[in-house]
């Protein structure tokens, strides 16, 4: 299987001294879901930003379709990678539809305006997210949870093959969290690759995703969640006793705390 993204011996430091992570290597293939798991401050968002080409690594490389991203034009990267940040800071009074249409920007010429096909693509993305009712609302007046869903719709309209999501359920109520997780499963089934950060290990089990973990010793673990997520690793990462157990009524593994 040809990888969309290849990460090779990646390391990062903000000041050139203390490394946030090092020696990270893994591949991202079409149709895969990969969860970067761990507590706050462990380096998940930093790693995601390196994968997006937003930050330059201290060492190692990120290859996109076999090409080193360090030498690629931003437009070419944007045609393949969609990025959904954890927080948006709206500044222009676009309607939601107009904002989602901007996801088409990597496919437009310098002075080309979006045409009917670009608006149709944006409308389809809003329908896929079940938020078409927000189309005419100024996106500066959305709730934080609505902004998150609109940002995902924009990435879908972008036609990216790889979608990076930073805590995509962080500001959503429980029902909308599940809607986003179902959407991620649906994107995977359609051949999209999705890499997301989460500090909720149960989401990894729900998604049946591959798992990438940076532990407190800065060691990197990657593979099927069944091979990576142990009670010992999870309890050490989060500083509390956690159990992995199968719930027969729903026939799946869950991550739970034995009690408070």
pLDDT digits (tens, 9 = 90+) for 145-165: 888 889 989 999 998 999 999
- Asked whether 10 and 48 are in contact (CB, 8 A), the reply is no
What values do phi and psi take at 7, rounded to 5? -105, 125
| % of the chain beyond a pLDDT of 70 | 99
The confidence band for 208, taking pLDDT boundaries of 50, 70 and 90, is very high
- Which position has the token pair 């993305």? 125
Alpha carbon 47 to chain centroid, angstroms:
11
> What is the set of domains in the chain, with CATH numbers?
1-80+161-260 (3.40.50.300), 87-159 (no CATH)
pLDDT higher than 90, residue 214 = no
Amino acid 216: pLDDT = 78
Burial of 46 from C-beta contacts in 10 A (0-12 / 13-18 / 19+): buried
DSSP 8-state secondary structure symbol assigned to residue 114: P
Q: pLDDT tens digits, residue range 161-177? A: 999 999 998 888 898 88
pLDDT digits (tens, 9 = 90+) for 194-203: 999 998 999 9
Pick the closest to residue 34 from 181, 237, 167, 193 (CA basis).
193
What is the spatial distance between Cα 137 and Cα 96, in angstroms, rounded to a whole number?
6
pLDDT of residue 172: 84
Q: Decide: 38 and 237 in contact? Cβ < 8 Å.
A: yes
Q: Which residues pair with 254 in a beta bridge?
A: 245
Q: For residue 29, what are the β-bridge partners?
A: 3
Helix, strand counts (H, E) of the chain: 9, 12
* pLDDT tens for each residue of 223-233: 999 999 999 99
pLDDT of residue 1: 60
Computed over every residue of the chain, the mean pLDDT equals: 90
Q: How confident is the model at residue 185 (pLDDT cuts 50, 70, 90)?
A: very high
Closest C-alpha among 50, 76, 10, 52 to residue 163 = 52
Residues 76-114: tens digit of each pLDDT: 999 999 999 887 777 778 899 999 999 999 889 888 899
> Is the pLDDT score of 51 beyond 70?
yes
Q: In what order do the strands lie in the sheet with 59-64?
A: 19-29, 3-13, 59-64, 67-68
pLDDT digits (tens, 9 = 90+) for 5-36: 999 999 998 877 778 888 999 999 999 999 99
Planar angle of CA 25, 30, 36, nearest 5 degrees: 45
Q: Which helix (H) or strand (E) holds 60?
A: strand 59-64
Is the CB of residue 170 less than 8 Å from the CB of residue 148? Answer: yes
């Amino acid at each position: 299987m040809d990888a969309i993204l290849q990460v090779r011996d990646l390391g990062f430091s903000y000041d050139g001294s203390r490394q946030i992570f090092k020696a990270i290597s893994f591949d991202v293939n079409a149709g895969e879901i990969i969860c970067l798991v761990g507590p706050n401050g462990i380096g998940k968002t930093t790693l995601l930003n390196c994968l997006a080409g937003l930050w330059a690594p201290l060492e190692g490389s990120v290859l996109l379709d076999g090409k080193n991203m360090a030498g690629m034009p931003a437009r070419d990267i944007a045609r393949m990678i969609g990025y959904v940040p954890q927080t948006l800071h709206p500044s222009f009074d676009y309607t939601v539809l107009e904002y989602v249409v901007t996801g088409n920007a990597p496919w437009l010429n310098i002075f080309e305006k979006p045409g009917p096909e670009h608006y149709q693509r944006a409308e389809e993305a809003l329908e896929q997210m079940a938020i078409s009712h927000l189309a005419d609302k100024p996106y500066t007046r959305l709730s934080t949870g609505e902004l998150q869903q609109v940002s995902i719709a924009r990435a879908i309209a972008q036609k990216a093959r790889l979608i990076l999501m930073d805590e995509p359920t962080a500001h959503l109520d429980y029902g909308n969290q599940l809607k986003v997780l179902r959407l991620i499963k649906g994107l995977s089934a359609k051949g999209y690759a999705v890499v997301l950060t989460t500090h909720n290990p149960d989401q990894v089990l729900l998604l049946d995703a591959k798992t990438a973990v940076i532990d407190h010793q800065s060691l990197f673990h990657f593979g099927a969640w069944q091979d990576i997520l142990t009670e010992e690793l999870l309890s050490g990462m989060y500083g509390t006793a956690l159990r992995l157990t199968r719930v027969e009524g729903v026939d799946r593994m869950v991550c739970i705390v034995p009690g408070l």
